[in-house]
Structure 1
Amino acid sequence: MVRESWASRAGFILAAVGSAVGLGNIWRFPWMTAENGGSAFLLLYLLIVLVVGVPGLLAAFVIGRQSNRNPVGAFKSLAGSRFWAALGVLCVVTSIMLMSFYSVVGGWILRYFLESATGAYFTDPETHFAAISYGAEAFGYQLAVLAATSLIVAAGIRRGIEATTKVMIPGVVVLLVGLAIWAAQQPGAAQGYEFYLEFDGTYLAENFLSVLGAAAGQALFTLSIGSGTMITYASYIDDDRSLPLDASAIAVFNLGIGILGGFVVFPLLFSFAPGPTEGGPGALFVGIAGAFASLPGGRLLGAVFFLVVLLAALTSLISMLEIPVSLLVDEFDIERSGATWGLFALIALTGGVNAFSPAVFTLFANHLVDLLLVLGLTGFMVYTAWVLGPAAVEEYLEGAGQLSRPLVVPWRYAIGTLFPAFLLFTFYADVAALIGLPAGTGLLLVVTLLTVMALVVVARRSVSENRPQPSESTD
């Protein structure tokens, strides 16, 4: 079966940006920012995206382009080790878990977009959201979003994913700019900007570990780098592309759209809602819906806003579905359409649990996926630095420009030691907080360093085990 590729560099970048932008920047970002101190969270989030996210994107790109395979096939073919092949399986599992709760939110958005025409959520937004967020109707809207996603993915890389994201992403940006200009004129805009942008050093000092973990999880969530999406997308690109340039462009676009989304959401939450700290996952629907209910032309504004969020949700869902689809196409030679609709049925089943159970949804959306993304990216980095090693350096340099070439050696050793240590530290801190275990910074550092050392040893051993052995001479 002939493997597809991107028709253009712009198509790849827009598809990758679409994967990164999504609900993470519009639905999840305000909610996580509000729960973690506003500007304190924003600062750490920005730093992690730029300092850790870009090198992490590069690691995923190197794996994808080096192998021209899905995550499972990539680790299997490049390493020849069951341990690393299991990391590819983790990517597929993570993508399915992501879609399982993400599609529920997509269903909420689709419903609110359609209901904007009648103003069904205007009278009592909080009660309305509580009534429609889970249950049979929520499952029905979830299936509609999954079906739309499947139609696009089944059409292929060029005719489906690339053609769709080339329209969706510019549309999202244009509509967000218009909404940000309008939101700036609302009565609570100044308060919203203050909460969003004014740095609160005291809060950060008192809650550093919790904010750090939340910011790391959000950065990985929005960049789509811990689930194998970028490995999959990079497997369709040509060797003449500059991976450092593409990774930097995607990260900058993602940051820009995420920050722009904050300039829309926070002024509205301070203008027409109790503020951003109320509502959790439903804050966007309760607070923003209240804003549109009190404004002239609120139905039209509501439709435009939820159309933006719906397009963003679809671009991310497309990238998540492509991971297991590419696995079935590459490794089992299953026709793309059959693979897509078979996965539609599977995710409808796993996602249905999230649509009917608020407890399961909260577990997935709040904690589980973040932890899996951190583990995934840690594995990508260690694998790229120590298993691929010199081959990763060569792949990095292929098509790289004069500015990025001198950074290749620092990049390799940073993703092999420093950045995995940072990610694992946040992972252990999050796990300790989640289970209520009082773990001090010193203990977390010791456990982190031991884990990094063990991973490096495993990586180096897997290289030596798979290195061709000299044949024995016979007398």
Structure 2
Amino acid sequence: MALEEVTREKWATRLGFILAAVGSAVGLGNIWRFPFQVGQEGGAAFLVMYLLFVAIIGIPAMLVEFVVGRSSERNPINAFDRLGHGEWRFIGILGVITGFLILSYYSVVAGWVTRYTFASLTGAYFGEAGAYFGQISAGPAAVGFHALFMVVTAVIVAAGIQKGIEMAVKVMVPALLVLLVGLIAYAFTLEGAAQGYEYYLSPDFGVIAANWTSILPAAAGQAFFTLSLGMGVMITYASYIDEDRNLGVDGGWIAFLNTLVSILAGLVVFPVLFTIGTEPGSGGPGELFAGVGGAIAQVPGSRLVGFLFFGVVTIAALSSAISILEVLVSYAIDNYSIERPTATAVISAIVFVVGIPSAMSTDVLTLFDATTAQLLLPLGVFLTVIFVGWVYQDSAKELAKGTGSDASGTLPVLWLWYVRIPILIVVGFVLVINATELYGTLTDMLL
């Protein structure tokens, strides 16, 4: 099938696109990954670095992917062919592979969350949260919930852009925000609230000065993960945007709402942890389940609080999972004579199979998470920045569409040169540090 013959759906409304992109960005990275990253990297010191990175690097980098997506109207792989630079399609291939790997273990973690949501109603993990997490985090039951989550994700994506993804996120994202605000009001009443807020919101700038070389890469990896950069999602979603949309404004709203959810999640998690004296960051990837789950078990109204909290995380996980799956499905639809439901079913089944090792071993899951977040995501962003900044000649022209300006306008030109030099240098620096750290981690594991 020739690329030009493919008829692509469009977002029905601007709100639908923004909520879909927010839904993609808002996920387990905000509520599962964010708290233990904050705990491991110095509390509020990490929060400051994370917010700065999102504002200074994350938003301009998101616009880089928007430019590729909207100007090509194709999936991440075909986008570079459509733009006349087929030799750069390896960037899209890398993004699709990265998204595929992330979804394979992401679905496993989402399966844990789903199980905890229902277990909250019975109090199954209230006796010993750490032991319960150890029992359910790996094994046949984890495989089963991994399968359940993939089925739900596939059903939404199979329904299409407007009737599936857009309709789902218009319900999920507002519901997530409302529930988070309610949980924050509850957390405010807990005994450990003041201590939790101090840890989370009062940065020690001495910690930043002394440890910035470790905090910066961690903040960068978290930003790329939560903004869904480097995995082809924003290229794919932008391929469904009309030319009259202002990419800068939409990107700003997406980054703002995504970051807001991360901040709100911390306002729930840390008061709960400090109420029972749990040290933030001590639980690693299991922090949300063993740490927060154990804390919830000891606060008033624990069953309802647990159900609502893990229900919020489930909604967030689902909104992100459908965006990653859409990248893979979009490629199949664009390139082969295959219907969306069939493509969704086949790809979901493959993702499920690849995710089984992560469901059987948390060590495998941790390795996948470290490799994708520390290496593959920043590498994908770095290469895309090179392409948009130095190779593709119409980058400023594409960004200017919908702004009332043209390619020679001040903002498009400033953005282009900002992408070409400062962003490229910072992302390159982060990539080198992360690659070095990951190499050391893998060496230690193998030895």
TM-score by length of 1: 0.89
RMSD across aligned positions (CA): 1.6
8 Å CA contact 1:292, 1:301 repeated in 2:
yes
Seen in structure 2, the aligned counterparts of structure 1 residues 273 and 144 have a Cα distance that, compared at 3 Å, is farther
Q: 1:7 aligns with which of 12, 19, 36?
A: 12
Distance 1:185 1:366 in 2: 36
Specify the SS of the correspondent of 2:42.
Answer: coil
Matched, 1:400 2:403: yes
Q: Which structure 2 residues correspond to residues 24-43 of structure 1 after superposition, within 5 A?
A: 24-43=29-48
Distance 2:267 2:81 in 1: 44
8 Å CA contact 2:272, 2:296 repeated in 1:
no
Seen in structure 2, the aligned counterparts of structure 1 residues 403 and 194 have a Cα distance that, compared at 3 Å, is farther
The residue aligned with 1:202 is 206
Percent identity between the two aligned chains = 47
Q: 2:193 aligns with which of 185, 189, 192?
A: 189
Deviations 1:388-433 (A, max 9, x none): 22x1111111101579952111111121222111111111112222
Q: 1:107 aligns with which of 108, 111, 126?
A: 111
Seen in structure 2, the aligned counterparts of structure 1 residues 276 and 401 have a Cα distance that, compared at 3 Å, is farther
Q: 1:74 aligns with which of 69, 73, 79?
A: 79
8 Å CA contact 2:37, 2:281 repeated in 1:
no
Distance 1:380 1:277 in 2: 32
Unaligned runs of 5+ in 2: 1-5, 442-447
Distance 1:383 1:188 in 2: 49
Distance 1:303 1:401 in 2: 47
CA apart distance, 1:73: 0.7
The residue aligned with 1:380 is 384
Q: Which structure 2 residues correspond to residues 320-335 of structure 1 after superposition, within 5 A?
A: 320-335=324-339
Unaligned runs of 5+ in 1: 438-475
The residue aligned with 1:134 is 138
Distance 2:207 2:439 in 1: 23
CA apart distance, 1:174: 0.2
Seen in structure 2, the aligned counterparts of structure 1 residues 157 and 235 have a Cα distance that, compared at 3 Å, is same
Q: Which structure 2 residues correspond to residues 412-451 of structure 1 after superposition, within 5 A?
A: 412-436=416-440
8 Å CA contact 1:272, 1:287 repeated in 2:
no
Report how many aligned residue pairs link the two structures.
Answer: 435
Larger mean Cα displacement after TM superposition, 322-331 or 405-414: 405-414
8 Å CA contact 1:31, 1:276 repeated in 2:
yes
Q: Which structure 2 residues correspond to residues 48-447 of structure 1 after superposition, within 5 A?
A: 48-82=53-87, 84-389=88-393, 391-400=394-403, 405-436=409-440
Distance 1:300 1:197 in 2: 27
Larger Rg: 1
8 Å CA contact 1:91, 1:227 repeated in 2:
yes
Distance 1:383 1:266 in 2: 41
Specify the SS of the correspondent of 2:299.
Answer: coil
The residue aligned with 2:3 is none
CA apart distance, 1:385: 1.6
Q: Which amino acid aligns with 1:312?
A: A
Structure 1's consecutive aligned runs of 4 or more residues displaced over 4 angstroms after TM superposition are 401-405
